[in-house]
Amino acid sequence: MKTIVIALGGNAIIKKGESETYATLIKNIRQMSKAISPIVKKYGAVITYGNGYEIGNLLLQNEISRKKVPPMPLDILGAESQGLIGYPLEEQLINELRSTKKNVVTVLTQVLVDKNDPAFRNPTKFIGPFYSYSQYQKLKSKYKIRKDSNRGYRRIVPSPKPIKILEFRTIENLNRRGIVVICGGGGGIPVIIKSGKLKGVEGVIDKDWASSCLGKNINADTLLILTGVDKVCLNYGEKNEMKLDKLNVKEAKEYLKEGQFPPGSMGPKIEASIDFLKKGKKVIITDIEHAERALNGKAGTLIRR
C-alpha cells in the first residue's frame, strides 16, 4: 500500500474570521475528516497539521494568567497544541472509519534541529497575540518583539529547519501495520542535542518542511499539501493570475527566484515540495475540498522531479 503524508493547513482547523471556540474547532475538524476519509481508507495515511491559531491562544493564556499560573516555554505549549488538535482529529477520523478495520493513533512528535541553525541568531517567525506600543515597551526586554506590518507588535521566534523526526521509526512501523498516524502537529516540537542529551528549545518549525522531512524519513510516495487555494498560481491575486496544473523541480526553483512564491504564503510549501522530491515521487498542492480529486489527477497542482 502506498504511503501518503497529508499535510493539513492550520487555516482549515480555524478559518479566518471564525470564533475560536471548541464548537468551531470540532465542526471544522469533522468536515476535514469527512473530506480526507476516502483517501485514508484507500492508502497508508500519515497526517500532519498546522497549529497557528491554537499556539497563539496558548501563548495568550500564558500571558493573561502568568501572575497566577507559572508560564510554560514554547516547546511545552507546542506539545499541548498537539494534544489539543490531535485528540479531536483522532476522534473524528475514528468516527469516519468505523466501517473499516483501520485504527487511528496520535503520536507526540519531536523534531531534531541543529543548535547552530542560523534561525536561532535571526528569529523571524511571528507568533502569538498582537501588542500595543506600551505593551511592547514593557515586554521587549523579555522577548524578541517586532512590528508586524501596521497591525501591532508581535513576538518573533526562530524557525529552524528540521533534520529528523525522532519518532519516525515508530510512525513508519505503525503505518506498515495499516494504522492511520496523526503526528507532527504544528511542525513538531523542536529539540536539539546538548551534551549528548535531548533538550527542547523555543522555536516554531514550518509544518510543510516538517512534513517533507517526515515523508523522506518514512519513504512516503506522495506528499499531499492541503492549503487555502485549489492550485498553485503565478501572479497570484493579479489580473494575469495563472493557475498551474503541473510543475517540475527546475521550474519551481526558477519561479522561487523570480519571487512568484512569497516567503509568508506559498514559498515554504514549494521549498518543502522540492525538498521532499529528493526522495519522494510526487507532491500535490490543493485545498481540502479537492483533495481526493487531486490525488486522482483531476484537480490541484502536481509537482514532480
CATH assignment at residue 182: 3.40.1160.10
Angle between helices 207-217 and 267-276 (to 10 degrees): 10
Supply the DSSP symbol for 240: T
Instruction: Clarify whether residues 184 and 229 are in a common domain.
Output: yes
**pLDDT score, position 128:** 75
CA dist 200 → 98, 109, 204 (Å)? 37, 12, 11
Instruction: Clarify whether residues 136 and 51 are in a common domain.
Output: no
Instruction: Clarify whether residues 143 and 217 are in a common domain.
Output: no
Instruction: Clarify whether residues 230 and 137 are in a common domain.
Output: no
188 classed as catalytic:
no
Instruction: Clarify whether residues 40 and 168 are in a common domain.
Output: yes
101 classed as catalytic:
no
Other Cβ atoms less than 10 A from the Cβ of 27: the count is 12
Phi, psi dihedrals of residue 159, rounded to the nearest 5°: -130, 75
**pLDDT score, position 139:** 82
Instruction: Clarify whether residues 9 and 153 are in a common domain.
Output: no
Residue in the structure block whose three cell numbers are 506590518:
149
Is residue 270 assigned to a domain? yes
11 classed as catalytic:
yes
Residue 8 to residue 244: CA distance in whole angstroms: 21
Phi, psi dihedrals of residue 23, rounded to the nearest 5°: -60, -40
Instruction: Clarify whether residues 210 and 284 are in a common domain.
Output: yes
**Counted domains in the chain:** 2
Is residue 61 assigned to a domain? yes
175 classed as catalytic:
no
Supply the DSSP symbol for 109: -
**pLDDT score, position 221:** 96
Q: Which of 157, 183, 211 is the last residue of a domain?
A: 157
The pairing of strands 3-8 and 222-227 is parallel
**pLDDT score, position 27:** 93
Q: Which of 10, 44, 52, 86 is catalytic?
A: 10
Q: Are 274 and 264 in contact (CB under 8 A)?
A: no
**pLDDT score, position 36:** 96
Instruction: Clarify whether residues 59 and 149 are in a common domain.
Output: no
Is residue 118 assigned to a domain? no
215 classed as catalytic:
no
Q: By residue range, what is the domain housing residue 136?
A: 123-157
Q: Residue 281 carries which side chain, given as an amino acid letter?
A: K
Q: Which of 102, 216, 231, 269 is catalytic?
A: 269
**pLDDT score, position 31:** 93
Q: Which of 34, 41, 103, 125 is catalytic?
A: 125
Q: What angle is formed at CA 48 by the lines to CA 75 and CA 290, rounded to 5 degrees? A: 145
**pLDDT score, position 158:** 93
Q: Residue 257 carries which side chain, given as an amino acid letter?
A: K
Is residue 73 assigned to a domain? yes
Q: Which of 102, 207, 216, 231 is catalytic?
A: 207
**pLDDT score, position 66:** 86
Is residue 103 assigned to a domain? yes
Instruction: Clarify whether residues 249 and 275 are in a common domain.
Output: yes
**pLDDT score, position 146:** 87
Cell of 265: 504564503
Instruction: Clarify whether residues 85 and 130 are in a common domain.
Output: no
Tens of pLDDT, residue by residue, the chain (305 residues): 699 999 998 777 777 677 778 899 999 999 999 999 999 999 999 999 998 778 888 888 888 898 899 989 999 999 999 999 999 999 999 999 999 989 999 999 999 999 999 999 999 888 877 888 888 888 888 888 988 877 788 888 999 999 999 999 999 999 999 999 999 999 999 999 999 999 999 999 999 999 999 999 999 999 999 998 999 999 998 999 999 999 999 999 999 999 999 887 899 999 999 999 999 999 999 999 999 999 999 999 999 99
Instruction: Clarify whether residues 130 and 230 are in a common domain.
Output: no
Residue 246 to residue 231: CA distance in whole angstroms: 9
Supply the DSSP symbol for 143: S
pTM attached to this predicted model: 0.92
Instruction: Clarify whether residues 223 and 244 are in a common domain.
Output: yes
Sheet (strand 197-200) strand order: 162-165, 110-113, 189-194, 197-200
